[in-house]
């Protein structure tokens, strides 16, 4: 995904755009650019690579002006170089556009325009937008934008400026997030509110098909037929500190340390007198009463929470849970109906594959429960029931508090569902609630003393391959551990069900191969231990992640990360936090860009 920001007002636009892009860099950072109205001409500055390169480039140039748009890119079509960097300009220089999303019919449009003599300068899908605007332009900017966006297939969040209208910015949205925000004598567009929290907290999220016209002192909203719409602004309760590092070296470390507080918040919201109370789920009581099977569908780390959640729901509620990655789920023609609710898990609420899975589920009559962290996001708005994870903005591309709050929401869902089905006694529910209540403090203590784990990170920072192995809830931890290491330290790794290793993959174990064996599920310890010994017998260097209650079972010579004891059902949480620390310090020791790893973006809003 990419980041878009726009400003129109009485202040210099460039500083506002650069500040906004800095807050949006987590959305993509292959290249960046801005376009500013400067003496009624539009000046464009762009550069490959991180935003700092753009800042250096414009330091000594005149990009003054009061109206502008900016973009930070995660490349989809066209290499991440200056030629393909946004903003893109029509051949006649009249239209300048920034875009997030994919114009799926760009090749048809590009070919048609080329046949009419239009010359393109980039390999991007986006460039067809300014070129088509110029082609249709009859002097009426709004009508031209409406005509063009109605020809576009795919997804777009657009910021548009036109040389003939130096006092306007036009914004348009379909499937890619875009907000318009109101200041005093100044107005903004942005991919999300975090970009402009320094200036205003009053905003509206555009709906699909919306077109907005911004002047310095007004915002007018239209639907795609250009019928004027009400502008129901909302005020965010986010504070700008939520999008700043506040003294931490990285957003990832800050967000890891926010986990206890965020989990406490969810516990306090949903556990009352040792019972789980979830009004959002009360509203779909009939769905849960008639539920024959649950699907849990997501991508990446969000998918990993569904693996851990599956074990808990099946054990406590005695209902089948089928998990799948969204990009597979949407093409396998699953058997869905009103008795098979689908849980879609997404921190950003804008992941394209997860949105597509949600829409397919709804088309087939399956109720959708969204576990989401962004209010007003597409998945938030299109779910039949939303379990809002309240993690606050997550800036680091590698999710931590996003993951932890999603997993906590699964635990709460399982307890609520078990309560309503009567599959777990009140005493048992009270015990589980007490375990949930203690989790945040255990995470806090783990995060407050990371020396042991840091030592392992130092020892293994030069590894060129890791195996993470475990069974059941330990396997769920292994999956998330493996992704954390891969995505921030670029070290290849594999998560394996430890019982499966001997069916082929153990052939890859050599002397010194680092294997992290998750054994915190006490009921499965013996099995986990025997799998650990199988790889040790072939020369592996094994580190066991184990509950303090089983620490003594770890024989001499084996390295171990000892965790405070947690009930087996919830043991994944602490194991994953330990691995967040492990991955963080490997990446830090290796000088990796922890918050903005190469090739990644915070939310993948393209398929
Ligand atoms: C995890 O660290 C990654 N950032 C990635 O796997 C992420 O979990 C995945 O892209 C899903 O994103 P979402 O939760 O916003 O849908």
CATH of the domain at 125: 3.60.20.10
pLDDT at residue 564 in the model = 98
pLDDT at residue 596 in the model = 87
Catalytic annotation, residues: 2, 602
pLDDT at residue 81 in the model = 81
Ligand 1: residue of 252, 300, 343 to mutate (most ligand atoms within 8 A of CB) is 300
Minimum mean pLDDT among 33-37, 79-83, 465-469, 595-599: which range?
A: 79-83
Distance CA 389, CA 409 (A): 7
Distance 481 CA to ligand 1 centre (A): 14
Distance 405 CA to ligand 1 centre (A): 13
pLDDT at residue 602 in the model = 80
| Dihedral sign, Cα of residue 106, residue 97, residue 599, residue 83 | positive
Residues 345 and 482 in one domain: no
Picking from 400, 419, 446, the residue at the C-terminal end of a domain is: 446
Residues 306 and 276 in one domain: yes
Give per-residue pLDDT as tens, 135-167: 999 999 999 999 999 999 999 999 999 999 999
CB atoms within 10 A of CB 463: 17
Residues 219 and 258 in one domain: no
Residue with more model confidence, 17 or 73:
17
Ligand 1 atom closest to Cα of residue 400 = 2
| pLDDT > 90? residue 375 | no
| Cα 196 off chain centre by | 19
Give a yes or no: residue 602 inside a domain. Answer: no
Distance CA 204, CA 316 (A): 41
Give per-residue pLDDT as tens, 330-346: 999 999 999 999 999 99
Residues 152 and 299 in one domain: no
Ligand 1 pocket member 301 (CB < 6 A): yes
Residues 347 and 291 in one domain: yes
Total domain count, the chain: 3
Task: For 159-188, give the DSSP string.
Answer: EEEETT-TT-EEEEEEBS--EEEE-SS-EE
Ligand 1 atom closest to Cα of residue 487 = 2
Mean pLDDT over 510-530 rounds to: 95
Give a yes or no: residue 502 inside a domain. Answer: yes
Tokens of 328: 């597979």
Residues 229 and 314 in one domain: no
Nearest CA to ligand 1 atom 7: 300
Ligand 1 pocket member 394 (CB < 6 A): no
Ligand 1 pocket member 346 (CB < 6 A): yes
Give a yes or no: residue 594 inside a domain. Answer: no
Structural domain boundaries, residue 209: 3-241
Give per-residue pLDDT as tens, 436-465: 999 999 999 999 999 999 999 999 999 999
Ligand 1 pocket member 126 (CB < 6 A): no
pLDDT at residue 380 in the model = 95
Nearest CA to ligand 1 atom 9: 300
E-state strands within 271-329: 271-272, 275-276, 293-298, 320-325
Distance CA 57, CA 88 (A): 18
Ligand 1 pocket member 299 (CB < 6 A): yes
Ligand 1 atom closest to Cα of residue 379 = 16
Picking from 186, 221, 241, the residue at the C-terminal end of a domain is: 241
Give a yes or no: residue 231 inside a domain. Answer: yes
Residues 114 and 55 in one domain: yes
Ligand 1 pocket member 353 (CB < 6 A): no
Ligand 1 pocket member 351 (CB < 6 A): yes
**What is Dmax (Cα atoms) for the chain?**
81
Give a yes or no: residue 282 inside a domain. Answer: yes
Ligand 1 pocket member 398 (CB < 6 A): yes
Tokens of 318: 């005695």
Residues 230 and 256 in one domain: no
Tokens of 590: 């290796």
Give a yes or no: residue 389 inside a domain. Answer: yes
Residues 397 and 314 in one domain: yes
Residues 94 and 179 in one domain: yes
Nearest CA to ligand 1 atom 3: 398
Residues 220 and 323 in one domain: no
| pLDDT > 80? residue 77 | no
Mean pLDDT over 466-483 rounds to: 97
Ligand 1 pocket member 487 (CB < 6 A): yes
Ligand 1 atom closest to Cα of residue 351 = 16
Mean pLDDT over 354-371 rounds to: 97
Nearest CA to ligand 1 atom 4: 398
Q: 481 and 580 in contact (C-beta within 8 Å)?
A: no
Give per-residue pLDDT as tens, 189-215: 999 998 999 999 999 999 999 999 999
Give a yes or no: residue 605 inside a domain. Answer: no
pLDDT at residue 186 in the model = 97
pTM equals: 0.84
Smallest Cα–Cα separation from 336: which of 305, 375, 307, 297?
Answer: 297
Residues 264 and 198 in one domain: no
pLDDT > 90: percent of the chain: 84
| CATH number of the domain encompassing residue 507 | 3.40.50.10490
Distance 422 CA to ligand 1 centre (A): 34
Ligand 1 pocket member 306 (CB < 6 A): no
Picking from 446, 476, 492, the residue at the C-terminal end of a domain is: 446
**What pLDDT band is residue 589 in, cutting at 50, 70 and 90?**
very high
Ligand 1 atom closest to Cα of residue 484 = 2
Look-up of token digits 């330290």: 489
Give a yes or no: residue 601 inside a domain. Answer: no
DSSP state of 118: P
Mean pLDDT over 117-130 rounds to: 96
| pLDDT > 90? residue 291 | yes
């Amino acid at each position: 995904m990419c980041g878009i920001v726009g400003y129109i007002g009485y202040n210099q636009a460039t500083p506002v755009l650069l500040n906004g892009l800095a807050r949006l860099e987590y959305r993509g950072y292959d290249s960046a650019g801005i376009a500013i109205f400067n003496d009624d001409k539009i000046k464009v500055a762009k550069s490959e690579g991180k935003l700092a390169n753009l800042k250096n480039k414009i330091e000594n140039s005149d990009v003054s002006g009061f109206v502008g748009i900016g973009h930070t890119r995660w490349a989809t079509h066209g290499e991440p170089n200056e030629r393909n960097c946004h903003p893109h300009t029509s051949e006649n220089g009249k239209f300048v556009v920034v875009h997030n999303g994919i114009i799926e019919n760009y090749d048809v449009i590009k070919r048609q325009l080329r046949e009419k003599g239009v010359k393109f300068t980039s390999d991007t899908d986006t460039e067809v937008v300014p070129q088509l605007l110029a082609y249709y332009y009859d002097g009426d900017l709004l009508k031209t934008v409406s005509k063009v966006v109605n020809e576009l297939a795919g997804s777009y969040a657009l910021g548009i400026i036109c040389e003939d209208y130096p006092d306007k910015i036009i914004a348009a949205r379909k499937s890619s997030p875009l907000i318009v925000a109101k200041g005093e004598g100044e107005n903004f567009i942005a991919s999300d509110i975090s970009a402009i929290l320094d200036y205003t907290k009053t905003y509206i999220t555009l709906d699909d098909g919306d077109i907005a016209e911004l002047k310095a002192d007004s915002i007018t909203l239209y639907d795609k037929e250009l019928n004027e719409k009400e502008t129901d602004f909302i005020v965010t309760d986010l504070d700008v500190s939520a999008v700043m590092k506040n003294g931490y070296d990285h957003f990832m470390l800050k967000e890891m340390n926010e986990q206890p507080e965020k989990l406490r918040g969810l516990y306090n919201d949903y556990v009352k007198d040792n019972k789980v109370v979830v009004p959002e789920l009360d509203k779909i009581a009939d769905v849960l009463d008639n539920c024959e099977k649950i699907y849990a569908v997501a991508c990446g780390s969000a998918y990993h929470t569904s693996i851990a959640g599956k074990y808990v729901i099946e054990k406590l509620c005695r209902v089948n849970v089928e998990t799948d990655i969204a990009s597979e789920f949407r093409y396998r023609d699953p058997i869905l109906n009103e008795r098979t609710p689908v849980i879609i898990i997404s921190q950003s609420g804008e992941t394209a594959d997860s949105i597509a899975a949600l829409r397919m589920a709804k088309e087939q009559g399956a109720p959708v429960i969204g576990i989401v962290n962004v209010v007003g996001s597409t998945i938030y708005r299109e779910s039949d029931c939303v379990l809002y994870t309240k993690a606050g903005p997550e800036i680091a591309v590698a999710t931590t508090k996003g993951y932890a709050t999603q997993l906590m929401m699964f635990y709460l869902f399982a307890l609520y569902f078990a309560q309503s089905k009567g599959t777990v006694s009140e005493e048992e529910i009270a015990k589980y609630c007490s375990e949930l209540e203690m989790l945040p403090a255990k995470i806090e203590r783990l995060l407050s003393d990371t020396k042991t784990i840091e030592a392992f990170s130092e020892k293994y920072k030069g590894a060129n391959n890791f195996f993470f192995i475990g069974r059941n809830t330990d396997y769920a931890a292994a999956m998330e551990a493996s992704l954390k290491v891969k995505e921030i330290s670029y070290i290849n790794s594999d998560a394996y069900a430890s019982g499966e290793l001997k069916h082929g993959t153990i052939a890859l174990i050599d002397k010194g191969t680092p294997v992290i064996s998750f054994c915190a599920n006490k009921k499965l310890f013996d099995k986990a231990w025997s799998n650990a010994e199988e790889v040790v017998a072939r020369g592996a260097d094994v580190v066991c992640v184990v509950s303090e209650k089983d620490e003594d079972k770890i024989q001499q010579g084996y390295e171990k990360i000892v965790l405070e004891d947690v009930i087996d059902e919830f043991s994944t949480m602490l194991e994953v936090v330990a691995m967040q620390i492990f991955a963080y310090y490997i990446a830090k020791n290796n000088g990796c860009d922890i918050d903005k790893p190469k090739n990644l973006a915070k939310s993948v809003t393209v398929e």
